[in-house]
Structure formats: C-alpha cells, structure tokens
Structure 1
C-alpha cells in the first residue's frame, strides 16, 4: 500500500483488527471480496494446513457433488479391480464373453455391495472374495454415513445470505459527501439486530517507517432492527474522518482498503451469522449515487426488491 500522505490530527485508530502493523511484510489486500483473509500459510505439510471438514462444507455445491460422485466411482473401480485380479470366476452369476464385460460386471457388483443393495444376481464365492466384499460393505456404510453428515452440515450450517454492492461510492450527503456501501438479504430469511462496522486500512509513515494503520469509520447507523430490504452503510466524511479532503485523484492514485464486517441474528437458526468483504480504493466510485432498488407491487400490496439492482448507481457531480 502507498504511504498515507495526508496529515491528520486526532484521528482515532483501531488496534484490534487482528492484522499486523509491519507494512513491509504485507502484500496485496487484507481481505478478498468474498471476505476470506488474503493469507497463504506455509511451513507445514499440505495436509496439515487443511481442515477437510471445513473445506467440504464451504465448497460450491457443484464441486461438492463432483467430489461425492468421483469418490464413489473411484472406490468402486478399486474394488472392481481387486475382484477382477482375484478372478471373476469367484463371483457366481457373472456371464460374460469378453474381459471388458467381466470387469464391467465386477464393477456393478462392487457398486451393489458398496451401497448394500445386493440384488443377488452375483454373489462372492470363497473366503478371500467374501472377505473383500464384507470389507467393501463396511466401507460403504461408513462412507455414506460420512457423506450424510457432510450433506446435513452443509444444509444446517448458519450462513449470512447477504450480498454487498460490487462498488462502494462517494456520494453527496447533508451538504457534504459520504462513503456508501449497500447490502441486501437475498434469501427468504429473517435477519434481525444487524450490526455493521467499517474500517479503513492504510499505510502511514511514522518516524521514517511505513506501518499499517486502521481507522474506524463512524456510520450514520451502525445497527438496524431488521434487515428486510436493502441497507446503505453511510460514513459521513467530516473533518474527523480519515477520508476528509480526499479527492477523486487521491482515490484513483493512492492505495487503501475499506474493511466491512457485518453480523445479524438469524431467527431460523437462532444464531448469529457474520459476513465480511472489502473494497480497495479502485473499487470506490467517486461521484455517484445508488438508485432505488425496491418498489411497490402492481396491486400495491407488497414491496418488491430487485436484488439485481444492488450495485445500480449513476454518476453525479460532487
């Protein structure tokens, strides 16, 4: 980050962000857009760095399904190979004219054993084949128990179904200007007691050394009773703000980051959910205002909110 050249007095700082102050050891932004810390951990073996449970819970649905199907196919391929190399003659009921067909029937016998379906068309013969089939059946029970637990964990995990606008904006506000960020709930959930916190991350030169400094940005409202429509987080840029006297050129040329932390109470899970994101200065539109994203229905009986208009804004002069 670039050196914060603007000299300000009596600007309070936030020393409880959890990020370090040594600017020389930091690279890039502090938080990714999805809220994850922009950190790469090294010094341990790869598998010791990963919590597989958390990883599988956070994977996108299509990747999780691909892993489940992939593991299922792989395990059955391994057991089918074992049956094939032992000899398919130890599997009663297999009638095949080619080696490919023999392997295919061994594979489907493996799938039936792994899922404990057991149609009875093919059965193991001999101690070794029966022992392998029994081991596979046990593996199937444990595997499906694990998959069921992961599926339940993914569905039952409390999650803040909130979307932030792609851009933050600098807009006119009460005779001056303000930093604004818009957020909305996009699922049929009831979120109450929402609380937001904004922090400005900058690099400041102190005694000839560049250090990271974090400045809390006061909000017009940092809590609301219910997050049913959209919520625009507004930081009024006054003389007490670290963004005071910042121009369009400053936002374009200097490097800074707005860290956003938001939590709310989800009535369905009876639990607090949290979400984070950040905006670097290049993601802040100077001289704009958000456009209305909700309206009444045609029969005037409901309020309709258009989530696709969350980031909709228009340019204006400040």
Structure 2
C-alpha cells in the first residue's frame, strides 16, 4: 500500500538512477551488503559469469578451492593424454599395476605443469615431447594468471566498513531522529569521509503508486577521518520526509533508507566506496546505541569494542512524538 505524499517540504533526490515505477521493481533496491538486488537475464553464459570479475571478488576460500580444482583437473587431463599416447613413451616409470602407472603419469604431469621436472621420468618421442612442452607452456601461463589475480585481490581497494544491523528511531534534542552507525574493522583508516542517505518510499501520484526518493540530510555528513565508530543522525523535523509517518506507514509503503559512503584510503592511495540499506523491518523505535569505545586500564589509549556495533538500549520516545511501533 502506497502513501499519499505527506510532506512536500522534503527535497526529492532525482539522481539515484533507480526507477520510479513500482510495478517494474521487486523487493528492496539494495541488499544489506550493498549489492544491488538485481537478477540479470538475457546475457550469454560467459558474459554473465564474467570470470575475471568473479575470481577477483569471490570469497578467499572459494578462490583457493577454484585454484586447487583447476590444478587437479588440468593435470588429470594431461595424464589422460599421456595414457592415450601410450605409457611406453614415458621413460623411467616405476610401476606394475594400472593404478601405479596412472599415478606415475599424473605426477609427471604435475611436475611438467609446475616446471619442476625431477628428471626420473622423461618423454620419449615427438608426441609425448610435444604434449609435455604444451603442458609446460600452459603451466607458465596459468601461474602468471593466478599470480595476477592474487595480487589484484590483495591490492584491490576496499572500504573495510561494517554497518549496524538496525537503524534506530531515538529521542534526540527534545524530538526524534533516526540513527545508524558504522565502524572501520581493519587498520585501513579513511580520511575525507562523506556519507549520503536517501529515503526510497512508495507514494500515490494521481492514484498510481510511484517510487519517490528523498534526501535525508544528516546532522554531520562529513568527517576528516574515520578511526572509530561514527553514528549518523537524521533529525526528523518538518522538512524531513519521515515527518508524520508511523512505523506502520513505513512498512506499508516499503520504505528503504539507502546509505552511500565514500572516503580516501591512505593505505591504497585511492578512493573507496561502501553501500548498505535499511528497510522498514530494520527500523527499531525507542532505542539508543551503546557506547563502543572507552579508555584502557592505564588511561593511555582508547579501546574500540567491535562486538558492540549492534548493541542498543530501549528508551521511551518523547511524549510529543506519535511514531508508534507497527
């Protein structure tokens, strides 16, 4: 159920790049991890896979599994070729059973692929020598590609930022504000950090539901450096698109708060970007975040408790606020 436009003082954001027709999109615009909620169809298999991008961005354990499977598969393929040519073309084999012969061929393939070449087994004849030289070339090229991918994975600029799971509607300066927070979780500290937030909400226009996007001005949207947690605050006043809307209203209109963070990482000497979103189910009414940092025992340094990122305490809303829970 879409809402009638309730606050015309709020400033619309026309630069989101997202569609306004509610019938043409399903679910939220962005996942919590910042990835667009978009399934792409109509692309050819290789274009859809985008192997380079996939290998560069997949989790570390998946990348290692792919490399190991590729190594085992290539050697299995070349071992099969040597067996097809004839094991009598591999001199120096010490094997009696078929499994031992296959093992000798497989590990000769592994030695050739890695250019180790112990020398006990060597190819005899043009066919086996040609396959061995082709495998050595394949191994050199494969190691070059894997080395480049590993360097790219380690050197790729990333914003190591974690966001709170919930956004809180909390008492603030005698009124109400919506708050969320973020924190760096490595030593890649950012400078010149800027945060932009946008509210996506469904509204009725001439009886037709439309997606509308409104800027959510933050009390503080820029910071010279980000070394500890940062709580972002949007004050809900008469100019806020959230003004006068209850939790039930936001649920019914499929409200979503989009968050975009940009900063300069001195370690990478590059600009990094991070994104997340909060939908109406992620809103908590009547709560305030707990402090995440405190002095150490000797009062000589500050301790940042990452485990407290999502910790909050319930607080009553001000009497002059009518933002009931759903």
TM-score using structure 2 length? 0.95
Describe how 1:260-275 pairs up with structure 2 within 5 A: 260-275=259-274
| Alignment match, 1:67 | 66
CA drift of 1:6 comes to 5.0
| Alignment match, 1:221 | 220
Describe how 1:227-242 pairs up with structure 2 within 5 A: 227-242=226-241
CA drift of 1:97 comes to 1.3
1:41 and 2:43 correspond: no
Q: 3-state SS of the aligned residue for 2:230?
A: strand
Q: 3-state SS of the aligned residue for 1:178?
A: strand
CA drift of 1:4 comes to 2.4
TM-score using structure 1 length? 0.97
1:5 and 2:4 correspond: yes
Q: 3-state SS of the aligned residue for 1:44?
A: coil
What count of residue pairs does the alignment treat as equivalent? 317
Paired with 2:180 and 2:222, the residues of 1 have a C-alpha distance of: 14
Please, which runs of 5 or more residues in structure 2 have no aligned partner? 318-326
The question of whether the paired residues in 1 share the 8 Å contact of 2:247 and 2:280 is answered with no
Paired with 2:147 and 2:294, the residues of 1 have a C-alpha distance of: 42
| Alignment match, 1:123 | 122
Describe how 1:9-158 pairs up with structure 2 within 5 A: 9-158=8-157
Q: 3-state SS of the aligned residue for 1:129?
A: helix
Paired with 1:45 and 1:71, the residues of 2 have a C-alpha distance of: 23
Paired with 2:76 and 2:206, the residues of 1 have a C-alpha distance of: 65
Q: 3-state SS of the aligned residue for 1:49?
A: helix
Give the 3 Å change call, closer, same or farther, for CA 14–247 of structure 1 in structure 2: same
Q: 3-state SS of the aligned residue for 1:171?
A: strand
CA drift of 1:5 comes to 3.4
Question: Cα deviations across residues 240-271 of structure 1 (Å, max 9, x unaligned)?
Answer: 11111222433455421000000111011111
CA drift of 1:35 comes to 0.6
Describe how 1:183-222 pairs up with structure 2 within 5 A: 183-222=182-221
| Alignment match, 1:163 | 162
The question of whether the paired residues in 2 share the 8 Å contact of 1:251 and 1:284 is answered with no
The CA RMSD over aligned residues, in Å, is 1.1
| Alignment match, 2:321 | none
CA drift of 1:56 comes to 1.0
Paired with 2:73 and 2:14, the residues of 1 have a C-alpha distance of: 50
Paired with 1:212 and 1:53, the residues of 2 have a C-alpha distance of: 35
CA drift of 1:205 comes to 1.0
| Alignment match, 2:290 | 291
**Structure 1 range deviating more: 79-88 or 273-282:** 79-88
**Structure 1 range deviating more: 134-143 or 300-309:** 300-309
**Structure 1 range deviating more: 5-14 or 228-237:** 5-14
| Alignment match, 2:322 | none
Describe how 1:237-248 pairs up with structure 2 within 5 A: 237-248=236-247
| Alignment match, 2:320 | none
Paired with 2:170 and 2:155, the residues of 1 have a C-alpha distance of: 39
**Structure 1 range deviating more: 109-118 or 252-261:** 252-261
Question: Cα deviations across residues 253-312 of structure 1 (Å, max 9, x unaligned)?
Answer: 542100000011101111110000001100111111000111111111110101111111
Q: 3-state SS of the aligned residue for 2:41?
A: coil
Please, which runs of 5 or more residues in structure 1 have no aligned partner? none
Paired with 2:14 and 2:210, the residues of 1 have a C-alpha distance of: 12
Paired with 1:192 and 1:70, the residues of 2 have a C-alpha distance of: 41
